[in-house]
Structure 1
Amino acid sequence: MPTFSPDNLLAARFQGARPGLELTAVVDAALPVTRITADVLAQDSKKIPLLDEFVLRLVGTNLRTEEAITGFLGLPANMVTDTIAEQFSKDLLTYGPPDGATSRPLALTARGDQTARELASITPVRVNEPLVFDQLLWKIRPFDRRVIIPRRQAEGQHMLLLPAAQRRPVEMSDITVAEINAQLRERGLNDREVLQIRHITESKAPRVMPAKLLVYADAGRTDIQLGVIIDGELSHPHEFALLSHGGAQALGIQVDAPAERPALEAELERARIPLAEVTQKRAEQAAAQLASVTPTELPEELPREEIRAISVFEHPDLLDEALTQARRRILLIAPWIKRAIVNTDFLSKLEKLLRRGVSVHIAYGYTLNDPKNDRDAVRKLENLASRYKERFTFTQVKSTHAKVLLYDDVWITTSFNWLSFEGDRDRTYRMEEGTLVRGRSIADTQYNRYLDLIAQESV
């Protein structure tokens, strides 16, 4: 069974969440947040049952018989008897010396006396409570402060910045005692009760909470809806908040017509498993992965031959599979190269393959001097090719519409831009569909065909 990347898993889980609409994209998003430190008056709960406390404190005030305590509290005698017995077992109560009465009086042990004095002296204290304020919902939320990142980092990663509900500093009136106590309970802090907010301090550094945006569209691409994933789950409050700010249109999100899928030879087309069938199977596999407590570590037994559709969401995983698992060869053709894809991680994986003796051919080019290419990413690939001349050829071609990934015995032809699917600030999405063909003879034929094409079209 395949292991799904986080985005691919989200796509498999939520592709059917909007009946009549198709999931078109899973987008890295950034939810604006601010870190708040609240100076509050709080009281920690006493770590002893209330009846136990009353018994100890009454004995400490010289109410020293079971009958006197029962009468004072107005409770059933058996409840007081059981509580007194428990305090004896905890070494908090003992019997004092006879005072002439028919029964020996109760007395506090040294430990019991200390406990009674501590119970009597508990008073509210001022403490600082760290909070995270969600600026889209304009309320505090129980987010893990450790996963919050600087806004500048999110911008560098081309994350889609979600709007804030208001453009003003957070005020003390925006936070309630009840909200803080509710968050304390969610964090498992049941022994603290906030009584009053005295002051708040807002961090000045802009921060964001990483999130995912699901983009859905109808067949005519006139109805575009958004789903918001926070901590791995759909958040309807955030979705409604985005709608109130103009939804997809306000964020500049558009969905274009699906790109035309490269056709196969007639015989291969007839054998091709369609996308709907593949998608259903992958949804079942994703559900099994989520349900598995201890995922199997046995490698998946792949079929020797297969011809099937691949969705836009599967392409990045297949590129990563090629970069990490190829044993003999990789051939990749793409019109454009972006630094968001050809990054340090990409280059590191590629160099590991070259060191293992894997043969690599990468070709790119749509037009000469195309400004859509990131020159520094191209330069890094050129440098790597110069160091591994016998194993790595990096070629600019005059013009290519081909979008091909071939590794070992797998050939993928598609409309997906392998080396530029991230990095553009243009928020226009479309369903990119491709075909995966697994088989030694077909892969060999296509490999040689594309090598000839690269040689003929090289600049």
Structure 2
Amino acid sequence: MHSPELLLTKRFGGDRPGLLLLGIEKAAVPVTVVAAEVLAQEIKQLPLLDEFVLRLLKTGVGAVPDIAAFLGLERELVEVAVADQYREGAVAFGAAPGDLLLTARGEQLAREHESVRPVQKTFKVVFDRLTWSVATYEERALISKSSAVADGRILLPGQRTTRVKREDISPAAVNSILRQPGRSASIDVLDVIDVTPSTYKYMPVDVLVYGDEESGDVETAVVVDGDHSEKHDSVLGRLGGVAKLGFRIEPAGPHPALPPGVEVQRVQGAPLEESSPPVCGIGVWEHQLVLTAALQSATERLLIATDLAVCSVVDAHFLSRLEQRLRARVQVDLVVARCDEVTEAALGRLAQRSRYRLNLHRPEGEVRNTLVYDGNWVVSDFPWLSYRGAARPFRAYEGTVVAVQEEADREYAALLPPVES
């Protein structure tokens, strides 16, 4: 039942001593896919010095001192290359002392390397506009700007607004892409002749938000392909990332009050396990665990009441899980005061397909954050459908899972009648 966010929490939660990991935001890095026209040649089997030794022997330069003088190198370097090719069966010793000869194998290698000529080729290269460097992202992992917005991702800034130029892409950078695991590179790029921007895309990433509730200090960390990218952190910091993205930390209040008979039973523990206490206190990251459990395991009813629903939470993954509950004939009620346009449309479409098992309630005024599923009632200020998104404060929310059927029934009945009347 581990979501990608919870896995990131386990891996990176303790990376900033003195700060709490309070949020993980879906974000997107701007990239440009460029067509790079390059001058390249086939990768040669021999080191460059060995190649020149063979080619010089083919032209009649047949002694180590002469080869070293021709190449302007120390004699010892040439002797090492000659010894290597002797072991490979490409060089033999002549009749006179110090004379070297090419074997049949050496003749063939020399001819093959003489015939290699540079050619012009065009490659697609992904250029990261935040770090302003060539990136190894797979093109299939990139998304359009409209998809990023629909998914509620924060669009990170680019380091520059200028066009990507030839000088920005070095031959070494292109070669590093061609040498990536899984690619069988057969050429060496010698020079980049020209680049032509072809597509503007975004690379999905995660931004971890760390904070100190007392001081209000905020720090971020960018995770790309599951790994922390210090390069992205550094550039985002120089660009004033925290201020640009509007991240802020606010102190969390005490957990919301429970009925007196329930409050006395509350203990801190691990929720949703067989040995869990019936009234169990939960921390900020356990809220998402509970929400995931509700979306995956509710068998009779699911009610989510919250003031705001946004597409960064009600994304394709969330909607897919919700639809699975509806297909399992679970009664779903969403009590939401406000939605963004993308979420409004997506929930409307799902409600039309649900055959009256999904009810959307739009009360006026503020809605108390509540989650009820089957015999569980979760009491918390946690914003169930808007816990992601830069336009909100980050807090260390405290809540309670009340796994008591009578209490869950009472809360469920109390929430729905005023909305339906």
Which bin holds the TM-score, normalised by the shorter protein? 0.7 to 0.9
User: Are the counterparts in 2 of residues 333 and 405 from structure 1 also a CA contact under 8 Å?
Assistant: yes
Aligned residues: 405
Where does residue 242 of structure 2 map in the other structure? 248
- Give, as a single letter, the amino acid of the residue that structure 1 aligns with 2:407: Q
User: Are the counterparts in 1 of residues 153 and 312 from structure 2 also a CA contact under 8 Å?
Assistant: no
- Cα distance between partner residues in 1 of 2:276 and 2:397: 26
Shift in alpha-carbon separation, 1:207–1:199, aligned structure 2, 3 A: same
Q: So what's the TM-score if we normalise by structure 2? A: 0.77
Deviation string, structure 1 residues 350-381 (Cα, Å, up to 9, x no partner): 444344343x2415155xxx677865456446
Shift of 1:183: 4.5
Shift of 1:330: 2.7
1:41 equivalent in alignment to 2:39: yes
- Give, as a single letter, the amino acid of the residue that structure 2 aligns with 1:383: Q
Shift of 1:169: 0.9
- Give, as a single letter, the amino acid of the residue that structure 1 aligns with 2:369: K
Residue of structure 1 aligned with 2:24, choices 23, 26, 32: 26
1:148 equivalent in alignment to 2:105: no
- Cα distance between partner residues in 2 of 1:12 and 1:266: 34
User: Are the counterparts in 1 of residues 323 and 350 from structure 2 also a CA contact under 8 Å?
Assistant: no
Percent identical: 32
- Cα distance between partner residues in 1 of 2:80 and 2:193: 45
Residue of structure 1 aligned with 2:377, choices 386, 408, 411: 411
- Give, as a single letter, the amino acid of the residue that structure 2 aligns with 1:330: L
- Give, as a single letter, the amino acid of the residue that structure 2 aligns with 1:20: G
Residue of structure 2 aligned with 1:362, choices 321, 333, 350: 333
- Structure 2 unaligned spans of 5+: 68-74
Deviation string, structure 1 residues 77-136 (Cα, Å, up to 9, x no partner): 99979856754xxxx899xxxxxx9xxx99866x87654421221233322343222222
1:199 equivalent in alignment to 2:194: yes
Shift of 1:182: 4.5
Q: So what's the TM-score if we normalise by structure 1? A: 0.72
Shift of 1:453: 0.7
Where does residue 290 of structure 2 map in the other structure? 318
1:447 equivalent in alignment to 2:408: yes
Shift of 1:10: 1.5
1:383 equivalent in alignment to 2:362: no
Where does residue 302 of structure 2 map in the other structure? 330
Higher alpha-carbon deviation: 124-133 or 303-312: 303-312
- Give, as a single letter, the amino acid of the residue that structure 1 aligns with 2:2: F
- Cα distance between partner residues in 2 of 1:37 and 1:372: 37
2:214 aligns to what SS in structure 1? coil
User: Are the counterparts in 2 of residues 228 and 234 from structure 1 also a CA contact under 8 Å?
Assistant: yes
Shift of 1:27: 0.7
Shift of 1:411: 3.1
Shift of 1:142: 2.6
User: Are the counterparts in 1 of residues 308 and 339 from structure 2 also a CA contact under 8 Å?
Assistant: no
Where does residue 7 of structure 1 map in the other structure? 5
Shift in alpha-carbon separation, 1:397–1:146, aligned structure 2, 3 A: closer
Higher alpha-carbon deviation: 78-87 or 115-124: 78-87
RMSD of aligned Cα (Å): 4.1
Deviation string, structure 1 residues 222-272 (Cα, Å, up to 9, x no partner): 322221222222222222222222231122223333255323356655654
1:308 equivalent in alignment to 2:280: yes
User: Are the counterparts in 1 of residues 129 and 159 from structure 2 also a CA contact under 8 Å?
Assistant: yes
**Counterparts of 1:227-376 in structure 2 under 5 Å?**
227-258=221-252, 260-265=254-259, 269=263, 272-274=266-268, 302-303=274-275, 305=277, 307-338=279-310, 341-342=313-314, 346-358=318-330, 360-366=331-337, 375-376=344-345
User: Are the counterparts in 1 of residues 27 and 205 from structure 2 also a CA contact under 8 Å?
Assistant: yes
- Cα distance between partner residues in 1 of 2:302 and 2:216: 40
1:169 equivalent in alignment to 2:163: yes
- Cα distance between partner residues in 2 of 1:81 and 1:348: 65
